[in-house]
Amino acid sequence: MPYKKFEEYNMQVTDDVKNRYKDIIKDLGEDVGRDGLLKTPERAAKAMQFLTQGYHQDPVEILKSAMFKESYNEMVIVKDIELYSLCEHHILPFFGKVHIAYIPNGQIVGLSKLPRIVDVFARRLQVQERLTEQILDCINDTLKPQGVAVVIEASHMCMMMRGVQKQNSITTTSGFRGQFEKIETRNEFLKLIGK
């Protein structure tokens, strides 16, 4: 079976961004006519559209599309969700894991929707602190559970390959709402995710 691409790009945006990348590459002292760089501006333009597609997606609608009435009222955890985002300060990647828990209040959500909303918010220019809050607030405001917890552990290329160049540093952010503001519930969550 031949390889098929499923990605779609706005060609006007692609052409505009491609031309900007050509200028950037030239300004850095490279030859955009060199064989290895001929298609780089277009590839970079498409990559940036993919990596920032979260601006055109609605995380609330994603959650609402899979909410179900259910009497279950114990902790639900999805841990080790892969995270890839771009730091808004340097447009360099940061990556790691997200751990999400919620305690239902008459409604549950399809488990795949939690990683999907992580991707929606991560595929924007971000800072880890805001990303944590956006995921937390989206779940809390949409699902209206008894409580929500979000922990993000990430490595930032802006710290690893430039600036202070600390390759082994990990940044951890967390947020808690409702029942997770109680120390015993929070501790149970942190124990279950291995923290």
Look at residue 176 and give its three-state secondary structure.
strand
The answer to the question of whether 56 is labelled as a binding residue is no
Convert the pLDDT of each residue in 144-178 to its tens digit. 999 999 999 999 999 888 888 877 889 999 999 99
Residues labelled as active-site residues: 87-90, 128, 156, 158
Q: Is 90 annotated as a binding residue?
A: yes
pLDDT at 195: 84
Q: What is the pLDDT of residues 30-52, one digit of tens each?
A: 999 999 999 999 999 999 999 99
H-assigned helices in 1-145:
11-27, 40-51, 59-64, 113-122, 128-143
d(CA 97, CA 86): 14
138 is in an annotated binding site: no
Rounded to whole angstroms, how far apart are CA atoms 75 and 64? 20
- Classify 144 as helix, strand or coil: coil
Q: Global pTM?
A: 0.92
Enumerate residue ranges in the chain where pLDDT < 50.
1, 3
Instruction: Give phi and psi for 160, each to the nearest 5.
Output: -90, -40
Give the separation between CA 57 and CA 50, rounded to whole angstroms.
Answer: 12
